[in-house]
Structure 1
């Protein structure tokens, strides 16, 4: 699985609060996703993508 944060990100920090192992906030105030997503993190990443208020998280299976 891969996750990407697109240009829709408003920097609300919800993804970082749900799944801090994968999503971090940059100095510019937007989120970025780790390229290393383990099988144990996949469910949390999907939940995070579904929770994003602006659909900024793209998940590739």
Structure 2
């Protein structure tokens, strides 16, 4: 016997949004701000700017991730 179920997946825009996270251990060197000044700001430690356009700045974010000397920046496209 085969049972067939109908279902619908609902995706929101949030499900497809890029994400940047700075994990504990940031040394505040400013490399991320240098490579992606529209995304990061440094005030003792790095922070992601509120309302930063992550998709528009994806290439700069990737450079910042690679430049981070302690590897605490995580980027999910």
Same structural fold, with TM-score higher than 0.5 when normalized by the shorter chain = yes
2:37 to 20, 45, 53: 20
TM-score (norm. length: structure 1)? 0.82
Secondary structure of 2:57's aligned partner: helix
- Matched residue count: 59
Structure of larger gyration radius: 2
Aligned to 2:15: none
Contact residue 19 and residue 54 of structure 2 kept, 8 A: no
* Structure 1 segments of 4+ aligned residues over 2 angstroms from their partners: 34-40
Root mean square deviation of aligned Cα: 1.4
1:51 matches 2:64: no
Q: Distance in 2 between matches of 1:18 and 1:54?
A: 15
- Equivalent residue, structure 1, for 2:48: 33
Displacement of 1:14 after TM fit? 0.8
* Structure 2: 5+ residue stretches without partners: 1-17
Stretches of structure 1 lacking an aligned partner (at least 5 in a row)? none
